[in-house]
Amino acid sequence: NSGYVGYSNYTVDLANPTPRLLNTNFPTLNRSTGFQLSFQLTLTSEASSANRSGFSLVVIANDKLGIELGFKGNEIFAQSNTFTAAESIATPLLGTTVNYTLSVQNDTYQLVANNAPVLNGSLRSYNFDPTQSQPPLPLNPYTLSNLLFLGDNTDQGRSTFTLGAVSVTPL
């Protein structure tokens, strides 16, 4: 697996790697007032190395604190700020359509799957060197405020998935 695929609210022209918002009306991800991200995901296949996943959710608030969640075939985990698996839950995901809601408020997040809480913890400030990525990235996405990414963001994992409706709402 080489490259990245998914949805982000930012776009980058590799010839001029200055990121810009795709939609200037994208809501502010303000963790002080709180917000929720709802999405539907069906993971149909997944293979990855330890500490990585074939599908990732990255949410970085307007003050650059955030969370990256990894979805594996049998586990959901949060990435620590040094990109090792932190809090996690074992759960069979392959072939199952799940409605997720990620709530972020103040310094914490909570992930709910089909109306049941499954994971929670503290937001992080991620330590990332984009030149160490394969392929290298022209910028550090974890320094972008108000970032949303859903997809495959590593060459150390791959998946096939169906992503349904995605919405962001303030709390």
Domain ranges of the chain: 5-170
Q: Is there a contact between 20 and 10 (Cβ–Cβ < 8 Å)?
A: yes
Domain 5-170 sits in CATH at: 2.60.120.200
Looking at per-residue pLDDT, the higher value among 54 and 171 belongs to: 171
**Predicted structure pTM score:** 0.90
| Chain mean pLDDT for the chain | 88
pLDDT at residue 123 is higher than 70:
yes
Across 41-63, average pLDDT: 86
Alpha-carbon dihedral of residues 100, 104, 107, 112, nearest 10 degrees? -20
Residue 39's closest CA among 142, 154, 157, 162? 162
Per-residue pLDDT reduced to its tens digit, 143-156: 999 999 998 766 66
Work out the percent of the chain whose per-residue pLDDT is above 90: 52
Task: Output the CA angle 104-6-120, nearest 5 degrees.
Answer: 25
Task: Assign 22 to helix, strand or coil.
Answer: coil
Sign of CA dihedral 68, 121, 129, 139: positive
Give the count of alpha carbons within 13 A of 26, CB side only.
Answer: 18
CA distances from 115 to 9, 60, 66, 112, 170 (A): 26, 23, 22, 6, 18
123 closest CA partner among 48, 30, 41: 30
